[in-house]
């Protein structure tokens, strides 16, 4: 019943969905040249030969997908990969980092006609979806076309599980479209099985296997020369009001560490103007903004606002410790990926609200690979200890790096599960050659 109702409502929703996209366009949340991709209208031709479609909703999933895409393309030189995502930020990341034989499009919204237009153009031979997006119309259309669909790195929070349970038999009908579901944890696997999924396995979290964030060596050398031996820390992927929190912490720490540099990297760089205005309300703190000409922080800078795109890997290599944003944020938090910082040798700190990546943070905490912070006072005390005790800081860095290094075999398990489906494509291609 719920599935029939959903399909009926979405089939009548072209006008409001188009209006929604145009509102987002006016707010700068859609690409003005490519927003029609979200209505299923392709802006690129389909490449010849077998095509694997990989869907990664946003930046985190896209980052995780890159190492898998490279492995797929290396495995078969005749394959092409289409990767879709939903955000402008993820599109920018992928445009810079996708290898040859891979291309990006925005994923269509789940309107039946837009789904049909998308699939008729791209005609994927295999679909790989990452994490937790379950679009009923698209999955139904893939199933009716007999296109195998795998859900990789699947996760399902307890709240989402209970929400799905209230929809009767609808989850079972949707999940039957998946040939295989590879879950991050056994808890996720239990949830999916209880909702009616038939073939479910636990693979671990592919985020552990993602390639380290990229950086420009020349920019890093310039930053290191500018910063010199100053003590510093980075507050990464911040959301409001974490930037103000960083300023207050710096004010307190400056009394004991006068040459401290606090690097603030907002999750959404377009907030740069607003943040610069806010941070300039601290007249006793000197602010340098990186945007534009990649300004280097001059001597005496207290706060370095890095509102640029795609440079987080640079700052993780610059700083010995990183606090992960959206764990003290006003929107209820959820946390961003701590693995990226740990991979690059940072001691990892985070606030109490990390429910979106709870399993990762719990595993890291159990191994002593991250430092949970309950409140602002504990944040201050922990920063003070790390910044004034080189031995304590170095030990925290070693634990974080060792934890991530111990997880690197996860990609091999996912690859083993994926190989039979890739082999089918290879044999199909050989028959038609």
CATH number for the domain harbouring residue 228 = 3.40.50.2000
Express each pLDDT in 176-198 by its tens digit.
999 999 998 899 999 999 999 99
- Separation of alpha carbons 283 and 268, rounded Å: 25
Residue 430 has pLDDT above 70, yes or no: no
Q: Judge if pTM exceeds 0.85.
A: no
Stretch among 17-26, 29-38, 401-410, 420-429 having the lowest mean pLDDT: 420-429
Residue 252 has pLDDT above 70, yes or no: yes
345 lies in the same domain as 321 = yes
Residue 431 has pLDDT above 60, yes or no: no
Q: Is 131 a catalytic residue?
A: no
- Separation of alpha carbons 345 and 397, rounded Å: 6
Mean pLDDT over residues 211-230, rounded? Answer: 93
Question: Packing angle between helix 376-388 and helix 390-405, nearest 10 degrees?
Answer: 100
* Coil vs helix vs strand at 105: strand
- Separation of alpha carbons 31 and 20, rounded Å: 14
- Separation of alpha carbons 296 and 227, rounded Å: 9
Express each pLDDT in 54-88 by its tens digit.
998 777 777 778 888 998 999 898 999 999 998 88
Measured in degrees and rounded to the nearest 5, phi and psi for residue 220 equal -65, -45
281 burial (CB, 10 Å; 0-12 / 13-18 / 19+) is: exposed
Mean pLDDT over residues 304-322, rounded? Answer: 95
Residue 432 has pLDDT above 70, yes or no: no
Which one, of 208, 207, 262, lies nearest residue 231 by Cα? 262
Give me the chain's average pLDDT, please: 92
- Separation of alpha carbons 21 and 40, rounded Å: 13
Residue 15 has pLDDT above 70, yes or no: yes
Which residue is it, tokens 């893939």?
A: 142
Question: Packing angle between helix 358-366 and helix 390-405, nearest 10 degrees?
Answer: 120
* Coil vs helix vs strand at 210: coil
pLDDT of residue 93: 80
pLDDT of residue 63: 76
- Separation of alpha carbons 64 and 55, rounded Å: 11
* Element of type H or E holding 13: none
Using pLDDT thresholds of 50, 70 and 90, give the confidence band for residue 426. low
Using pLDDT thresholds of 50, 70 and 90, give the confidence band for residue 212. confident
326 lies in the same domain as 240 = yes
Selected catalytic residue, list 30, 61, 242, 243: 61
227 lies in the same domain as 313 = yes
Q: Which two tokens stand for residue 107?
A: 């994923």
Express each pLDDT in 40-56 by its tens digit.
999 999 999 999 999 98
Would you tell me how many other CB atoms lie within 10 Å of the CB of residue 6? 16
Q: Which two tokens stand for residue 128?
A: 């790989």
Q: How many domains does one find in the chain? A: 2
321 lies in the same domain as 351 = yes
Establish if 10 belongs to a structural domain: no
Residue 33 has pLDDT above 90, yes or no: yes
- Separation of alpha carbons 110 and 119, rounded Å: 12
Mean pLDDT over residues 376-391, rounded? Answer: 97
Measured in degrees and rounded to the nearest 5, phi and psi for residue 394 equal -60, -40
Using pLDDT thresholds of 50, 70 and 90, give the confidence band for residue 429. low
68 lies in the same domain as 186 = yes
Which residue is it, tokens 């669909």?
A: 149
Question: Packing angle between helix 59-75 and helix 410-432, nearest 10 degrees?
Answer: 50
Residue 309 has pLDDT above 90, yes or no: no
103 lies in the same domain as 156 = yes
- Separation of alpha carbons 347 and 341, rounded Å: 8
175 lies in the same domain as 252 = no
pLDDT of residue 178: 96
Establish if 315 belongs to a structural domain: yes
CATH of the domain at 176: 3.40.50.11720
Q: Which two tokens stand for residue 395?
A: 């030990």
Establish if 424 belongs to a structural domain: yes
Establish if 355 belongs to a structural domain: yes
Q: Are strands 321-324 and 232-238 parallel, antiparallel or unpaired?
A: parallel
Which one, of 110, 186, 112, 114, lies nearest residue 154 by Cα? 186
Stretch among 94-108, 166-180, 369-383, 404-418 having the lowest mean pLDDT: 404-418
Establish if 13 belongs to a structural domain: no
pLDDT of residue 149: 96
Mean pLDDT over residues 414-427, rounded? Answer: 86
Express each pLDDT in 280-297 by its tens digit.
999 899 999 999 777 899
- Separation of alpha carbons 354 and 370, rounded Å: 12
Contact yes or no for 154/184 (Cβ under 8 A): yes
262 lies in the same domain as 308 = yes
DSSP readout, 65-114?
HHHHHHHHHHH-TT-EEEEEES-HHHHHHHHHHPPTTEEEEEPPPS-HHH
Establish if 378 belongs to a structural domain: yes
- Separation of alpha carbons 13 and 7, rounded Å: 10
Measured in degrees and rounded to the nearest 5, phi and psi for residue 362 equal -65, -45
Domain ranges, residue 113? 28-205+409-432
pLDDT of residue 359: 80
Please list the helix, strand and coil fractions of the chain in percent, rounded to the nearest 5, in that order: 50, 15, 35
256 lies in the same domain as 200 = no
Express each pLDDT in 327-371 by its tens digit.
999 899 999 999 999 999 999 999 999 988 888 899 999 999 999
Establish if 22 belongs to a structural domain: no
Percentage of the residues of the chain whose pLDDT score is greater than 90:
73
Using pLDDT thresholds of 50, 70 and 90, give the confidence band for residue 157. confident
66 lies in the same domain as 183 = yes
227 lies in the same domain as 197 = no
Using pLDDT thresholds of 50, 70 and 90, give the confidence band for residue 101. very high
Establish if 211 belongs to a structural domain: no
Which residue is it, tokens 């001691």?
A: 347
Contact yes or no for 171/196 (Cβ under 8 A): yes
194 lies in the same domain as 226 = no
């Amino acid at each position: 019943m719920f599935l029939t109702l959903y399909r009926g409502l979405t089939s009548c929703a072209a006008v409001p969905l188009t209006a929604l996209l145009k509102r987002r366009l006016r707010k700068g949340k859609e690409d003005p040249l490519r927003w029609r991709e979200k209505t299923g209208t392709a802006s690129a031709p389909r490449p010849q030969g077998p095509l694997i479609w990989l869907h990664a909703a946003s930046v985190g999933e896209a980052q995780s997908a890159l190492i898998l895409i490279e492995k797929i393309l290396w495995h078969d030189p005749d394959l092409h990969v289409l990767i879709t995502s939903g955000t402008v930020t993820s599109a920018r990341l992928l445009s810079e980092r996708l290898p040859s034989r891979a291309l990006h499009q925005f994923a269509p919204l789940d309107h039946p006609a837009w789904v049909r237009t998308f699939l008729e153009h791209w005609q994927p031979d295999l679909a790989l979806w990452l994490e937790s997006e379950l679009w009923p119309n698209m999955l139904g259309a893939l199933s009716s076309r007999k296109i195998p669909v795998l859900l990789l790195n699947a996760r399902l929070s307890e709240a989402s599980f209970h929400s799905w349970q209230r929809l009767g038999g609808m989850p079972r009908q949707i999940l039957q479209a998946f040939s295989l579901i590879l879950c991050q944890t056994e808890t996720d696997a239990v949830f999916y099985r209880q909702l009616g999924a038939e073939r479910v396995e636990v693979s671990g979290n592919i985020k552990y296997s993602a390639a380290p964030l990229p950086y420009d060596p020349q920019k890093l050398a310039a930053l290191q020369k500018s910063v010199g031996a100053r003590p510093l820390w980075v507050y990464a992927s911040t959301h409001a009001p974490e930037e103000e929190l960083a300023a207050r912490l710096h004010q307190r720490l400056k009394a004991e560490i006068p040459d401290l540099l606090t690097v603030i990297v907002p999750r959404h760089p377009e907030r740069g103007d607003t943040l610069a205005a806010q941070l300039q309300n601290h007249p006793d703190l000197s602010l340098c903004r990186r945007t534009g000409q990649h300004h280097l922080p001059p001597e005496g800078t207290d706060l370095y606002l890095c509102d640029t795109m795609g440079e987080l890997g640079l700052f993780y290599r610059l700083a010995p410790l990183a606090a992960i944003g959206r764990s003290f944020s006003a929107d209820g938090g959820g946390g961003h990926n701590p693995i990226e910082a740990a991979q690059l040798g940072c001691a990892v700190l985070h606030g109490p609200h990390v429910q979106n990546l709870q399993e990762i943070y719990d595993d890291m905490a159990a191994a002593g690979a991250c430092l949970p912070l309950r409140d602002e006072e504990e944040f201050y005390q922990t920063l003070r200890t790390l910044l004034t005790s080189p031995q304590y800081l170095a030990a925290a860095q070693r634990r974080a790096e060792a934890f991530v290094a111990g997880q690197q075999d996860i990609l091999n398990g996912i690859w083993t599960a994926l190989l039979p489906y890739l082999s089918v494509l290879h044999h199909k291609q050989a028959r038609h050659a």
